[in-house]
């Protein structure tokens, strides 16, 4: 029995050594490798009543910038864009001498390249005239005017009526208030300085037309509706003051003012190129000596699959011949084309070409059809020739406004005159 008791006591002694301070009652991680030990983050003690918690530390202080040296090349101060004030009030003090009424000598800086005397243009909600010295002068603080050839008056539309504005006194007079007719367009007849050509509508004149040919005095004393049906485009008075070329529904007519009668203008009575039929004609223009008329026409040509084309037609009233110039298929648009414009010497004609390709723009042709050339520009704006026929002025679209280009004959070199404008409403004899 004693050996067994001795063995049991030995086992109890070994067990007591294993469970001592270096065993189960010590640090359970003491025997683990450092990378296998579980780290426990220390818990901060709550602040006392006298302590403050800084939730957002103050930003780091930026360094003080170094001042520019006295000789550092600073950029220049931008110059403000000049304002275009055609008619400043009496208290304005901008250094510009202008009148308080539109009939005086208000002036604006001339664009680069100079401007031809006599030109009337619209810019900055005002109407301007280029004087004989080349400087612009204010005519009226408004737009939409048709200035008389002598520059003393202007006709304009307001509502359904035609008004005459005295450009010296700024007084306006309604000359159609008693007509009970709406008016769509008006222009002066230079051969009759106190006469206006207009188009006015009957109650039944609906659709794509401008109304009936109407002849009236600038003082409102006379008013006559001459057209029997509505026109598609502006009429044109002859330079001798006796006849009016116009259209009724696209069919051309000549009205004899002295005889008080109209006659159809028959293109077939002239020697047309073989296979050409004129289907309609409007927007007439008399040659300077009234010996010829140009029309913007619709034509059909045998063997051409496009159907109706647009062309310039020039009819010699004495020789009975006709030139059909630059037929083209037009791009769709509302209304008829503007009238062609003769040079003062009768040698050239400018006309619109409205296509969807590179040919679109204003073209110039010799009156005999021997040559033609694209100029460019806006096909809705009128053009003006210099009095000596040396050059023609054409508006060039520039986004919301236009520039003015001068094309010099006979090579038609282009010169941009730098005139920002919205419209050219006339020419005043200087």
The predicted structure's pLDDT at residue 333:
60
Cβ proximity of 425 and 122 under 8 Å: yes
- Cα separation values, 178 from 14, 230, 319, Å: 137, 21, 45
Pairing of strands 223-225, 401-408: unpaired
Q: Which of 103, 130, 106 is nearest to 118 (CA)?
A: 130
pLDDT tens digits, the chain, 430 residues: what are they?
A: 445 555 555 555 545 444 444 444 444 333 334 344 334 444 444 444 444 333 333 433 433 333 334 443 333 333 333 333 333 333 333 333 333 333 334 444 444 457 999 999 999 999 999 999 989 999 999 999 999 999 999 999 999 999 999 999 999 999 999 999 999 999 999 999 999 999 999 988 877 789 999 999 999 999 999 999 999 999 999 999 999 999 999 999 999 999 999 999 999 999 999 999 999 999 999 999 999 999 999 999 998 877 899 999 999 999 999 999 999 998 766 679 999 999 999 999 999 999 888 899 999 999 999 999 999 999 999 999 999 999 999 999 988 889 999 999 999 999 999 999 999 999 998 7
Phi/psi of residue 12, nearest 5 degrees: -65, -35
How long a stretch of residues is the chain?
430
User: How high is the pLDDT of residue 322?
Assistant: 97
Helices and strands in the chain: count of H runs, count of E runs: 1, 28
- Nearest C-alpha neighbor of 323 from the set 294, 287, 286: 294
pLDDT value at residue 112: 45
Contact 200, 214 (CB under 8 A): yes
Inter-CA distances, 243 with 151, 192, 220, 253, 290, Å = 24, 11, 21, 10, 10
Q: Are 310 and 330 in contact (CB under 8 A)?
A: yes
The predicted structure's pLDDT at residue 103: 37
Please give the pLDDT value at position 38. Answer: 39
Question: Residue 319 and residue 385: Cα distance in Å, rounded?
Answer: 26
Residues near 354 by beta carbon (within 8 Å), at least 6 away in sequence = 310, 330, 331, 333, 337, 360, 379
Structure confidence at residue 400 (pLDDT): 83
The reported pLDDT for the residue numbered 398 is: 86
Q: Which value, to the nearest 10 degrees, does the dihedral of the CA atoms of residues 212, 218, 223, 229 take?
A: -10
> Contact at 8 Å (CB) between 254 and 245?
yes
Using CA atoms, how far apart are residues 396 and 377, in angstroms rounded to an integer?
4
**Best CA proximity match to 157, nearest among 101, 200, 124:** 200
DSSP letter string over 43-88? PPPPPPTT----SSPPPPPPPPPPPPPTT--PPPPPPPPPP--SS-
- CA dist 366 and 372 (Å) reads 6
Is 365:349 a contact under the CB 8 Å cutoff? yes
Q: Residue 269, SS3?
A: helix
Q: Residue 334: what pLDDT? A: 66
Under 8 Å between Cβ of 194 and 218: yes
Which DSSP category does 286 fall into?
A: E
Sheet holding 309-316, edge to edge: 276-286, 292-301, 309-316, 321-328
């Amino acid at each position: 029995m004693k050996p067994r008791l001795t063995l049991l006591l030995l086992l109890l002694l070994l067990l007591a050594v294993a469970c001592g301070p270096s065993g189960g009652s010590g640090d359970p991680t003491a025997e683990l490798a450092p990378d296998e030990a579980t780290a426990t983050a220390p818990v901060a003690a709550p602040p006392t009543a006298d302590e403050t918690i800084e939730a957002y530390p103050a930003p780091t202080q930026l360094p003080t910038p170094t001042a520019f040296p006295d000789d550092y090349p600073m950029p220049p101060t931008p110059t403000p864009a000049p304002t275009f004030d055609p008619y400043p009030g009496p208290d304005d003090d901008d250094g510009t001498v202008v009148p308080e009424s539109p009939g005086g000598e208000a002036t604006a800086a001339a664009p680069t390249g100079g401007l031809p005397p006599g030109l009337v243009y619209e810019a900055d909600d005002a109407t301007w005239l280029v004087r004989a010295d080349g400087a612009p002068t204010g005519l009226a603080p408004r737009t939409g005017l048709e200035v008389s050839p002598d520059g003393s008056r202007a006709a304009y539309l307001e509502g359904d009526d035609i008004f005459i504005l005295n450009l010296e006194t700024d007084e306006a007079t309604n000359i159609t208030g008693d007509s009970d007719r709406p008016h769509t367009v008006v222009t002066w007849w230079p051969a009759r300085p106190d006469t206006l050509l207009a188009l006015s509508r009957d109650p039944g004149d609906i659709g794509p037309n401008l109304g009936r040919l109407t002849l009236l005095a600038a003082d409102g004393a006379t008013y006559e509706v001459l057209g029997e049906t509505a026109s598609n485009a502006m009429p044109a008075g002859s330079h001798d003051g006796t006849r009016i070329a116009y259209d009724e529904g696209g069919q051309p007519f000549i009205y004899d003012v002295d005889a008080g009668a109209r006659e159809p203008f028959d293109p077939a009575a002239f020697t047309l190129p073989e296979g050409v039929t004129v289907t309609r004609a409007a927007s007439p223009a008399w040659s300077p000596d009234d010996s010829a008329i140009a029309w913007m026409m619709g034509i059909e040509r045998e063997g051409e699959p496009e159907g109706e084309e647009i062309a310039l037609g020039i009819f010699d009233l004495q020789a009975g011949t006709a030139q059909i110039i630059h037929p083209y298929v037009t791009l769709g648009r509302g209304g008829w084309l503007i009238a062609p414009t003769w040079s003062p010497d009768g040698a050239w004609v400018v006309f619109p070409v409205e296509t969807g390709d590179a040919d679109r723009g204003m073209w110039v042709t010799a009156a005999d059809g021997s040559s033609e050339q694209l100029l460019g520009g806006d096909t809705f704006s009128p053009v003006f020739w210099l009095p000596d026929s040396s050059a023609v002025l054409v508006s060039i679209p520039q986004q919301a406004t236009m520039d003015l280009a001068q094309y010099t004959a006979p090579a038609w070199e282009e010169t941009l005159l730098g005139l920002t404008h919205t419209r050219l409403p006339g020419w005043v004899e200087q």
